[in-house]
Amino acid sequence: MPELPEVEIVRHSLNKKIIQKTIKKVIVRNRNLRTKIPLNFKKILENQKILNVGRFSKYLIIFLSGRNKLLIHLGMSGTIHLLEHHKKNLITNMSFYNSPKLPDKHNHVEIFFDKFKLVYNDPRRFGFFEIIKDQDQFEKRFKKLGPEPFDSNFDPNYIYNNLKNKKKSVKNFLLDQNFISGIGNIYASEILYLSRINPFKEARFINKVECKKIFEKTKLVLLNAIKKGGSSIRDFKNISGSKGSFQKNFKVYQREGLKCKRVDCKGIIQKKNISNRSTFFCGFCQK
């Protein structure tokens, strides 16, 4: 599933292409995503100008000239493809998952502009589109989600106050979108490794020093991932022709059986499941 850095890369790519562009036509080929695409979806979007593309957590937010907002969540396998008219499009994928080219199947939504179109592809159909009509609805939509890692409300005290007296693992806390928005399985493992914290450790045993480490390493890992274009865990490129390279910096993720990268550590990277999620860690230096 695309995590915060990958969705941020898609946001950045969309901003370069669709700002101040007007939607000419919309085709919905399949309404049956995680939630049904609204029946008036086409009517709401057509003839609207794109004012901005934002992001919160793993959600893309497209601001329309008619004051409506379009939320897009890519789910497990959703990708957005850009195809220019009358041009051979070798690489269409604006994301880092699945096919670099537009697949033949599972193209559920097409949004047309003057010289190109965007196609939403989603084999597993866990993604969705949602129309937000006003600011009140917008605020209610994200009210239950925790702050983003770059929000001023996310700090060591926030982490400590939410973890204390809780029995679930610290790894599960990092994946809990009600606690912090945008972190997924890859980056949770990397954050805990750099913090030298065992992912199975119960949250109530995380002290204030460790909370500060989690705070610092969360920002470090995510900013580095964004800078390096996200993680291409398969060998595909985005629409600019460049491949996300953060996977080259993985310390633990997908390194099961390999030696820990810390010079002073003799540990071997292990892989175990937490809540049916693959979790990678060094049992020697992560305490």
Residues with a known catalytic role:
2-3, 58, 277
Helix locations, 147-240, DSSP H:
156-163, 170-175, 185-194, 208-227
Query: In the block, which residue shows the tokens 């957590």?
Result: 57
Residue 10 near residue 57, CB atoms below 8 Å: no
Distant-in-sequence, close-in-space partners of 148: CB < 8 Å, separation ≥ 6: 4, 56, 57, 154, 180, 181, 182
Q: How many Å apart are CA 64 and CA 54, to the nearest integer?
A: 11
Would strands 269-274 and 277-282 be described as parallel, antiparallel, or unpaired?
antiparallel
Q: How many Å apart are CA 191 and CA 213, to the nearest integer?
A: 9
What is the SS3 assignment for 162?
helix
